[in-house]
Every structure is written in C-alpha cells, then in structure tokens.
C-alpha cells in the first residue's frame, strides 16, 4: 500500500512539476507581454477571480473524490447527476457578477479599468466547474494520469493564447488585455474537459436517468462540500479583502494608485508565486493522500492513516526546505532567472522562511477532510482569516511598505498548523 501511495504521489508530483514549470513560463511571458502595470492590474482582480471560483466549484473535486473512493455508489450517476445543478448555479453566479462588477471595480478596487476583467470572470466559471467535477472523479478512482495530462494541456493552451492573443488585445487597451488573461481560461478548461473525457471508459453509455439528480447523492456531496467550501470561501474572502484594505489604507496615507498597484503586483506577481512553488508538490502528494487516507480511516486502520500522513508531511517539508534554502541564499538570482527582474528580492528572502510551515498544510487539511473534520477545519480557517485580516488592516497603518501582508500570512499559517495538529493528535 505504501509503495502504491508513493507511486501515485510521484506521478502527480512529476505532472505537477511540469505543470508548475509551464505556470512559471506563463507568468514570465505574461509579465513581458503585458508589463508590470498590466500584471499589477491582473493581480488586483485575481483575488476576486479566486473568490468566485471557490463559490462556483463548491469544493466538488474533494467531495466527489471522497465519495468515489468509498466505492459504494453508482459513480456515473454521482458525477452526471450533479452536473446540471452545478451549471444552473454557475449561470446564477454570472448574473450576480454582471450586477456587482461596477461596484467591485469602482468602489472596492478603485479602478474602473477592472470592470471588463471582472465581467470576464463570470464567463469562465461553468468551464472551470465542469472540469473540476470530472477531475474529482479521476482522483477518487486513484487514476492520476488523466488529471496530469489535462493540466498540462491547460497550461500549454494558456501559453499559446497569451503569446498570440494578448498582444493584439493590448493594442486596443490594457483593460481588454487583462480581460483576455481571464477569458483564456474558457479555452484552456474546454480543452481540459475534452482531454479528460477521452480517458473515460469506452463502454460508458449515458441515458436520461444518469443525468437526473439523485437526492441522496446531492445530500452526500453537500455534506462534504459545504463545510469545505465555507472554509475555502472564508480564505478567498480574506484574499479578496487584501487589495481592498491595502488600497484603502495606502490612499489614506497619501500614496498614489500607481504606486499601490506596482508594489502589490510585486508581492502578488513575483514574491508569493516564488515561495508557493513547493505547494504544487505538496498538493500532488495531498491529492494522492485523500483516497488512501479515506479508506484506511473508514476501516479504522488508524496506525496506517497516521503513517501515511507523516510520510506526506515529511515529503512536503523536505521539498519545502530545499526551496526555502535556495530562495533565501539566491533571491535576486531566482527573480532574475524567472522574471528578468530583481524587484522584491528583499521581500523574497524573508518571506521564504515565513512560508516554510505552510508546506505541510495541504496534507494536514486533506487528512482532516478524510476524517470528516471539515466543520472543525472551517472554524479554524474562519478564525485564521479574521486574525490575518485584522493584522493586515492594523499593521498597514505603520507605513512599512508591504511587510504587513507578509507578516499576516505568517501568523495565519502558524495558527492553522498548530490547531490542525492538535485535532489530528486527539483522533489518531
């Protein structure tokens, strides 16, 4: 079982590594095509994008993966029966976004240029949700290869689209270019869906009864997804408030919008992506961990569950430590290599140490979900986001550049990690 788990984790890790390299290529190309100002605008709208993705997807990959892994249901009906509900919900969200777009752009982000990028967010949601549901099925079946291939197809599609589409949109205006960066997800997710469908069993036949929603399945999905979504939603709201708080306080302190956009863009576009690079490996390990831990915990094999969790945490921490050492010693060189800039090197050096503890959060959170502790995880995240947001708002008034953002992240991760470890110890 241990070898099987490691093999699946390695497949996901390898695929995640390739995908992450492609993601970095995307970020490099994006920065050079759209410029620092364009990247800053995209980073301002990204928390809003992530917030609506969290609402739209309803943590369905996690819920479906767990239910499929249990092996007690008709998986075809489980997946197909929920798709119509998800699509209708996404259409409702599109209407909400269209109504709220002017308020978010003008009153919260204080930048009318972001109106069209926010509208573009709504159009992408049904594609992202459909893709996430199918991916959840494959994770539950412990078939990692389809998801790896589909993720690579997504990233390659984004690279090609950015190279050929964004320069054309940039000639019109920067608002269209940033909107294009968001809208590209429609194309990439569509190709991802097609790729995943190619890996479905050849003998799969779909009839009207399969598409008809099953109340028991819906109830089981929501029992997992609602606490998990609430937890992620709270985190997304915290991210959503980041640029709003920073913009509000810095404007009160007398800074110009251009300065705020540039500085926030440096942190969000350069520094945070660098320190979060190990998360693709810990995320891959965690995706392999969920079905394995779900089965062992359901069968009351607590020692096996604990052993797999420790293995996942140790692997994540070792990988994270290697990245931390490299980023701490060579911050300027890493930024120059990936982004052709040294902006943010002073932030990167310290942030790499602060984020070290965050690399074990993925396997710890997955274990909580496998143990049916989603509600406890939700409560922890709510308190953590309140602490982080309060710290960010208070410390920003000290006028110490973007350090309050980094400090608030560090305190948030430390709190979440300590609380989760205490709960897991009591149950294992």
Q: What is the 3-state secondary structure (H, E, C) of 286-299?
A: HHHHHHHHHHHHHC
What is the arithmetic mean of pLDDT over 10-28? Answer: 75
- Asked whether 185 and 127 are in contact (CB, 8 A), the reply is yes
End-to-end CA distance of the chain: 19
> pLDDT band at 10, cuts 50/70/90?
low
* pLDDT tops 90 at residue 95: yes
CB-CB neighbours of 280 under 10 Å: 22
Q: Half-sphere exposure of 75 toward its Cβ, with a 13 Å CA cutoff? A: 20
What is the pTM assigned to this prediction?
0.72
pLDDT: is 286 or 80 the higher one?
A: 80
Which residue bears the tokens 């607590």?
302
Max Cα–Cα distance, the chain, nearest Å: 65
**What pLDDT is stored for residue 156 in this prediction?**
93
Assigned token pair, 403 = 């350090």
Own/partner long-range contacts of 260-264 (Cβ < 8 Å, ≥24 apart): 261/37, 261/40, 261/41, 261/44, 261/111, 262/36, 262/37, 262/40, 263/401, 263/402, 264/40, 264/43, 264/44, 264/402
Which position has the token pair 């919008």? 257
325 vs 43, more confident: 325
Q: Which of the four pLDDT bands, split at 50, 70 and 90, describes residue 5?
A: low
> Looking at residue 204, what is its pLDDT?
65
pLDDT of the residue at 316: 85
Residue 129's pLDDT is what?
94
Q: Exposure of 112 by Cβ count < 10 A (0-12 exposed, 13-18 middle, 19+ buried)?
A: exposed
Q: What is the pLDDT of residues 115-149, one digit of tens each?
A: 999 999 999 999 999 999 998 888 888 777 888 88
Distance in angstroms (rounded) separating the CA atoms of residues 21 and 203 = 36
Q: What is the pLDDT of residue 322?
A: 92
One-letter-per-residue 3-state SS of the chain: CHHHHHHHHHHHHHHHHHHHHHHHHHHHHHHHHHHHHHHHHHHHHHHHHHHHHHHHHCCHHHHHHHHHHHCCCCHHHHHHHHHHHHHHHHHHHHHHHHHHHHHHHHHHCCCHHHHHHHHHHHHHHHHHHHHHHHHHHHHHCCCCHHHHHHHHHHHHHHHHHHHHCHHHHHHHCHHHHHHHHHHHHHHHHHHHHHHHHHCCCCCCCCCHHHHCCCHHHHHHHHHHHHHHHHHHHHHHHHHHHHHHHHHHHHHHCCCCHHHHHHHHHHHHHHHHHHHCCCHHHHHHHHHHHHHHHHHHHHCCCHHHHHHHHHHHHHHHHHHHHHHHHHHHHCHHHHHHHHHCCCCCHHHHHHHHHHCHHHHHHHHHHHHHHHCCCHHHHHHHHHHHHHHHHHHHHHHHCCCCCCHHHHHHHHHHHHHHHHHHHHHHHHHC
Please say if the pLDDT value at position 3 is more than 60.
no
- Which of 412, 326, 300 lies closest to 361, judged by CA? 412
Place of tokens 């739209």: 56
What confidence score (pLDDT) does residue 321 get?
92
**Dist. CA 144–CA 164, nearest whole Å:** 31
- Predicted local distance difference test score (pLDDT) of residue 201: 74
Q: Residue 199 has what pLDDT?
A: 87
Neighbouring CB atoms inside 10 A of 317's CB total 18
Give yes or no for residue 368 having a pLDDT over 90: no
């Amino acid at each position: 079982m241990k070898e099987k788990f490691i093999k699946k984790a390695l497949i996901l890790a390898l695929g995640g590594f390739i995908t992450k390299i492609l993601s970095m290529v995307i970020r490099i190309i994006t920065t050079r095509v759209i410029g620092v100002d364009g990247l800053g605008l995209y980073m301002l709208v990204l928390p809003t994008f992530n917030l609506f993705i969290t609402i739209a997807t309803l943590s369905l990959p996690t819920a479906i993966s767990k239910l499929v892994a249990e092996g007690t249901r008709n998986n075809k009906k489980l997946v197909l029966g929920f798709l119509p509900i998800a699509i209708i919900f996404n259409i409702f969200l599109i209407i909400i976004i269209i109504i709220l777009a002017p308020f978010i752009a003008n009153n919260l982000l204080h930048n009318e240029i972001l109106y069209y990028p926010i509208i573009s967010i709504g159009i992408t949601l049904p594609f992202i949700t459909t893709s996430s549901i199918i991916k959840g099925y494959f994770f539950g079946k412990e078939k990692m290869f389809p998801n790896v291939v589909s993720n690579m197809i997504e990233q390659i599609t984004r690279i090609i689209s950015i190279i050929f589409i964004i320069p054309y949109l940039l000639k019109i205006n920067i608002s269209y270019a940033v909107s294009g960066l968001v809208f590209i997800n429609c194309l990439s997710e569509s190709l991802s869906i097609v790729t995943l469908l190619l890996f479905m069993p050849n003998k799969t036949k779909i009839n009207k009864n399969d598409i008809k929603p099953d109340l028991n399945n819906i109830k089981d999905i929501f029992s997992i997804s609602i606490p998990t979504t609430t937890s992620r939603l709270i985190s997304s709201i915290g991210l959503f408030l980041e640029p709003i708080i920073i913009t509000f306080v810095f404007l009160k302190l007398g800074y110009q919008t251009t300065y705020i956009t540039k500085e926030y863009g440096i942190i969000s576009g350069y520094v945070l992506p660098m320190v979060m690079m190990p998360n693709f490996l810990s995320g891959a390990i965690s995706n392999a961990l969920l079905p394995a831990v779900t089965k062992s915990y359901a069968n009351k094999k607590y020692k096996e569950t604990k052993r797999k969790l420790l293995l996942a945490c140790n692997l994540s921490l070792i990988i994270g430590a290697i990245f931390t050492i490299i980023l701490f010693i060579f911050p300027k060189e890493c930024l120059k290599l990936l982004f052709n800039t040294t902006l943010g090197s002073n932030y990167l050096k310290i942030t790499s140490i602060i984020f070290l503890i965050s690399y074990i959060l993925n396997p710890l959170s997955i274990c909580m979900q496998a143990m049916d502790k989603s509600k406890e995880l939700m409560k922890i995240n709510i308190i953590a986001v309140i602490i982080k947001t309060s710290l960010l708002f208070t410390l920003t008034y000290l006028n110490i550049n973007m350090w309050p953002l980094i400090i608030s992240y560090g305190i948030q991760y430390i709190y979440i990690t300590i609380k989760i470890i205490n709960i897991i110890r009591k149950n294992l």
